[in-house]
């Protein structure tokens, strides 16, 4: 059967409207105003993705006593030497310029010192106070200002559009375009483009407790993988120590309780209402994210838990007025949802926050497929084994801007409308409509099972046995998904259909995470193997690289190129 679809053309198609996508659109339109630029987003422009949710801030070496080299060393040390050093170098070099662009050209206003100079705050894992911020709502300021500049420039918007598949050229020369679904009608359109940016964001939303926004389901990584592109460092999933836990029936579960509370003196308590962190680290609650998350997970595994299965954070031993004024946003959020952060014990749990891994790409944002560029959380290599707080929004905006510039330069010289492989488009539509042809099954069960498997067997603490179990379980869940259908009540804005498609992406990427975690037999950064608890052989660091060929995942390891600095060396003067 032949499916109908519309066909459109645009010079430059951007998938995703977070920090990376919006910056790419602005840079491309400035560099090459003659280009027809289209930005597509799964929801509304300016409201999706995680840049908007950034609380902490943006790392940039701007202070007189700080340096690019120092930011670089913090990023590499934090990444446990797994980073692609050219990418990390590009990040730290461009970050200050991007902050000035955000302020001077786009209209952001970041917090100031009383004398009018930029305020930069301390953030974990860094040797200098370099985090630029706007209160604890930095992301809103950045995305609001980017969005209004995009609206102003007449860039085409495809809102409520889901990217379904990367469609290659019939002659195999590269990418021809992207098959999209207009979610409002459920109809398909093939958008042909000379260049495409993959900037959909990653988001470890397959874990029982997770922080990212609900639109994120690893679709970009899944499409890239299916198109034959390699994903690197996929075992590296960062957990934030404190997410709210209020049962499976509320979407508030998993969302962040900010890090600053522990820094300010907040205590973590077990189900027995006793502190426990000092048994794990002399810094107690102020230890780094990975250590606190592991300690909390151990307590939970030992059954020292509250009614919802979590632990507690409490501020009640501190000055309540001070807590209320310093953490206004967080206190209000908790209050709205029925929790008292000032005088009570709020149940919390470590929560999956960010994927360091992703599509391999170069410092000019090109991927190995001609015509496809990538930026933001869809990519891997910038952060290595762990991301510093404040380097996430720097990553999306720095590389988003670079991608916009690079595509604007590339399209006029090398970009052509390639003839799309229409058979591939037909096959992708058939695969997308698949759940309507199946009867039975219950989608929410699969989601809950996937949450549990990833959390328990491929989460904060892993070993060979748990990962083998996870691999079998996720394969089973994939089979179960293929036996689970969606009632055809109409295709317009059919959330249950999208839940199914999201689950398909999440299951595929879960398999990749598990495969990479099995291969890495040491513990570093976000990846902790109980059977290999030490970091091993730093000088011979390798990263994992996974491709999909004929339906099977292939793993290889690649040596990290220490082209700027080797373990044990530093770029800083003694």
Catalytic site positions: 240, 262
Residue whose C-alpha is closest to residue 288's, from 528, 19, 464 = 528
60 or 514: whose CB is closer to other proteins? Answer: 60
Q: How many CB atoms lie within 10 A of CB 559?
A: 9
Q: In 308-432, at which residue ranges do the beta strands (DSSP E only) sit? A: 311-314, 345-355, 358-359, 372-374
Q: Which of 4, 115, 282, 573 binds other proteins (CB under 8 A)?
A: 115
**Tokens 């632990």, residue?**
311
CB of 500 to other proteins, least distance (A): 10
Residue 442 C-beta: closest distance to other proteins, Å: 9
User: Pick from 6, 36, 105, 272: which binds other proteins (CB under 8 A)?
Assistant: 105
Query: How many whole angstroms from its chain centre is CA 406?
Result: 22
Q: For residues 153-172, which are near other proteins according to CB under 8 A?
A: 157, 159-160
By CB under 8 A, the residues from 195 to 214 that bind other proteins are: 213-214
Mark residue 316 as left, alpha or beta (left: phi above 0; alpha: psi -120 to 50; beta: remaining).
alpha
Considering only residues 251 through 270, tell me which ones interact with other proteins, judged by CB under 8 A. 251-252, 255-256
- Backbone dihedral region for residue 134 (phi beyond 0: left; psi -120 to 50: alpha; all else: beta): beta
In the window 553-572, what residues touch other proteins (CB under 8 A)? none
User: Strand order of the sheet with strand 58-59?
Assistant: 58-59, 131-132, 120-121
Q: Long-range contacts made by residues 558-563, C-beta under 8 angstroms, separation at least 24?
A: 558/232, 560/81, 560/82, 560/83, 560/84, 561/84, 561/85, 562/81, 562/85, 563/85, 563/86
- Minimum Å gap between C-beta 433 and other proteins is 16
**Residue range at the interface with other proteins (CB under 8 A); choices 113-121, 168-176, 285-293, 474-482:** 113-121
**326 to 385, contacts with other proteins by CB under 8 A?**
333, 336-338
Q: Are 539 and 529 in contact (CB under 8 A)?
A: no
Q: Could you tell me which residues are beta bridge partners of residue 239? A: 352
**Span interacting with other proteins, options 170-178, 486-494, 527-535, 554-562, rule CB under 8 A:** 486-494
Cα angle 266, 272, 277; round to 5? 45
String of DSSP letters for 459-488 = SSSB-HHHHHHHHHHHHHHHHHHHT-----
Asked if 440 is part of the footprint of other proteins (rule: CB under 8 A), the reply reads: no
Residue 184 in the binding site for other proteins (CB under 8 A): yes
140 binds other proteins (CB under 8 A): yes
Which range in 8-16, 94-102, 225-233, 469-477 contacts other proteins by CB under 8 A? 94-102
97 binds other proteins (CB under 8 A): yes
> Which CB sits closer to other proteins, 151 or 412?
151
> By CB under 8 A, is residue 509 in contact with other proteins?
no
151 binds other proteins (CB under 8 A): yes
Q: Figure out which of the listed residues 278, 320, 489, 563 binds other proteins, where binding follows CB under 8 A.
A: 489
Q: Which of 106, 422, 464, 482 binds other proteins (CB under 8 A)?
A: 106
Structure tokens that stand for 382 in this block: 């910038």
Q: Is 301 in the site for other proteins (CB under 8 A)?
A: no
| Angle at 409 (CA atoms; ends 408, 411), nearest 5 degrees | 70
Of 515, 533, 537, the closest CA to residue 523 belongs to: 533
Does residue 325 belong to the site contacting other proteins (CB under 8 A)?
A: no
* Selected range binding other proteins among 111-119, 311-319, 388-396, 522-530, rule: CB under 8 A: 111-119
Q: Is 65 in the site for other proteins (CB under 8 A)?
A: no
| Residues in contact with 122: Cβ distance below 8 Å, sequence separation at least 6, in sequence order | 129, 131
Site for other proteins in 211-250 (CB under 8 A): 213-215, 246-247, 249-250
Give the binding site for other proteins (CB under 8 A): 43-48, 52-53, 97-101, 103-107, 109, 111-118, 137, 139-141, 144-145, 147-149, 151-152, 157, 159-160, 184, 213-215, 246-247, 249-252, 255-256, 333, 336-338, 443-444, 486-487, 489-490, 492-496, 499
């Amino acid at each position: 059967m032949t499916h109908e679809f519309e066909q459109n053309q645009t010079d430059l198609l951007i998938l995703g409207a977070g920090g990376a996508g919006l910056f790419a659109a602005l840079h491309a339109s400035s560099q090459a105003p003659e280009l027809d630029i289209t930005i597509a987003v799964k929801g509304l422009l300016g409201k999706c993705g995680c840049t908007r949710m950034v609380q902490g801030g943006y790392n940039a070496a701007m202070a007189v006593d700080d340096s690019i080299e120092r930011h670089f060393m913090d990023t590499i040390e934090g990444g446990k030497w797994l980073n692609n050093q050219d990418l990390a170098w590009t990040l730290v070099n461009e970050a200050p310029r991007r902050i000035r662009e955000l302020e001077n050209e786009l209209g952001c206003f970041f917090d100031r010192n009383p004398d009018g100079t930029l305020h930069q705050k301390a953030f974990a894992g860094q040797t200098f106070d370099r985090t630029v911020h706007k209160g604890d709502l930095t992301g809103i300021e950045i995305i609001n200002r980017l969005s209004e500049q995009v609206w102003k420039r007449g860039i085409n918007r495809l809102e409520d559009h889901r990217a379904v598949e990367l469609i290659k050229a019939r002659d195999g020369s590269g990418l021809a375009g992207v098959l999209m679904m207009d979610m409002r009608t459920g109809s398909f359109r093939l958008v042909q483009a000379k260049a495409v940016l993959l900037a959909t964001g990653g988001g470890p939303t397959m874990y029982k407790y997770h922080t990212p926004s609900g639109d994120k389901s690893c679709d970009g990584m899944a499409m890239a993988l299916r198109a034959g592109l390699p994903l690197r460092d996929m075992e590296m999933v960062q957990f934030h120590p404190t997410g709210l836990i209020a049962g499976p029936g509320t979407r508030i579960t998993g969302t962040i309780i900010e890090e600053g509370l522990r820094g300010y003196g907040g205590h973590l308590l077990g189900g027995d209402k006793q502190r426990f962190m000092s048994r794990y680290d002399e810094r107690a609650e102020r230890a780094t994210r990975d250590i606190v998350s592991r300690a909390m997970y151990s307590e939970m595994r030992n059954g020292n838990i509250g009614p919802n299965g979590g632990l507690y954070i409490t501020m009640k031993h501190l000055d309540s007025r001070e807590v209320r004024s310093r953490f206004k946003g967080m206190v209000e959020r908790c209050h709205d949802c029925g929790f008292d952060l000032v005088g009570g014990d709020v149940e919390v749990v470590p929560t999956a926050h960010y994927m360091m891994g992703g599509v391999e790409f170069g410092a000019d944002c090109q991927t190995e497929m001609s015509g496809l560029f990538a930026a933001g959380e869809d990519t891997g290599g910038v952060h290595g084994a762990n991301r510093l707080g404040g380097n996430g929004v720097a990553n999306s905006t720095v590389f988003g801007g670079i991608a916009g510039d690079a595509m604007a330069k590339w399209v006029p010289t090398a970009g052509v409308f390639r003839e799309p492989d229409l058979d591939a488009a037909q096959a992708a539509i058939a695969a997308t409509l698949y759940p309507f042809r199946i009867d039975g099954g219950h989608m929410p069960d699969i989601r809950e099972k996937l949450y549990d498997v990833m959390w328990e067997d491929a989460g904060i603490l892993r070993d060979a046995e748990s990962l083998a179990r996870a691999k079998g379980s996720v394969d089973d869940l994939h089979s179960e998904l293929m036996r689970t259908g969606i009632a055809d009540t109409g295709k317009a804005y059919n959330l249950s259909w999208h839940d199914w498609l999201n689950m398909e992406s999440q299951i595929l990427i879960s398999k990749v995470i598990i495969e990479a975690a099995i291969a890495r037999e040491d513990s570093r950064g976000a990846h902790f193997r109980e059977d290999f608890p030490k970091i091993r052989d730093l000088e011979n660091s390798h990263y994992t690289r996974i491709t999909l060929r004929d339906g099977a995942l292939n793993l290889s390891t690649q040596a990290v190129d220490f082209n700027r600095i080797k373990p044990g060396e530093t770029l800083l003067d003694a």
